[in-house]
Structure 1
């Protein structure tokens, strides 16, 4: 198993791998995280057009919110633009909040996943899935 810093770098690279099409990237990332992390750790808000509703499709991800430990990572999509936010939260109270670019947000997600993987088997499986 690689040392923790190397694992975080590999995980961040794996998370960035398909980020050229932002809409597709956020949809795939949100689905993978929701399937892999414990219930309640990932919240997804979707935006559906009338055509998507009529076709029975879920719609595109408008907001992805991941809570790991005392860190909450939010990613919002609006007209092809992405805005990240990293918050420090304790028992539902936000102590700090700051905007983050996509690369910084992915790095923070990778560090949070790696930290959670050290103590949680399900998070470890998530990390291994992204690294595979």
Structure 2
């Protein structure tokens, strides 16, 4: 299954599966997003929220990632949790001019598919995004 645009060779099912696989552990997933997407996409598209350094230091570890958000066009794809070990929640926000028009809580599966489709859409016109998607779909 592809995104339906001429010349597109991305397999959205494979990309969504990769995203789902990494969404089970938000800390690992955020690191994955940071390493792949942040390196290839403009920094303003990817936002990461970490726990406080003191809290992490007291726990004897690096600050854990609590939330990851990717903004593409008028959509913001958010994956967040309240604390280490907490179950992550997925949301898709529709925004315009910095104003949130709607927020929809979705399953990790729906979130993964929507993010994959949005990334595939910008990859058709952005070589850096295409490179990031290539890394996302590599085994």
Q: TM-score normalised to the size of structure 2?
A: 0.78
Name the CA shift for 1:121/1:51 in 2 (closer, same or farther; >3 Å).
Answer: same
What's the secondary structure of 2:78's corresponding residue? strand
Q: TM-score normalised to the size of structure 1?
A: 0.82
Deviates more, 1:91-100 or 1:9-18: 9-18
Residues paired across the two proteins, number: 131
Match of 1:52 in 2: 56
1:37 maps onto 2:41 in alignment:
yes
CA distance in 2, matches of 1:118, 1:88: 22
CA distance in 2, matches of 1:22, 1:39: 20
CA distance in 2, matches of 1:127, 1:20: 20
Whether the 8 Å contact between 2:94 and 2:101 is mirrored in structure 1 is yes
Shift of 1:102: 1.4
Match of 2:119 in 1: 113
Q: Hey, which of these two has a bigger chunk of strand by percent?
A: 1
Q: What residue ranges of structure 2 are gaps of 5+ in the alignment?
A: 5-9
Match of 2:7 in 1: none
Render the CA deviation track for 1:2-41: whole Å, top value 9, x for unaligned: 8425621121122223444443233323443222221210
Render the CA deviation track for 1:47-89: whole Å, top value 9, x for unaligned: 1353634799651111111101111111112242101110111
Q: Which of residues 122, 132, 138 is equivalent to 1:126?
A: 132
1:4 maps onto 2:3 in alignment:
yes
What's the secondary structure of 1:15's corresponding residue? helix
Whether the 8 Å contact between 1:86 and 1:97 is mirrored in structure 2 is yes
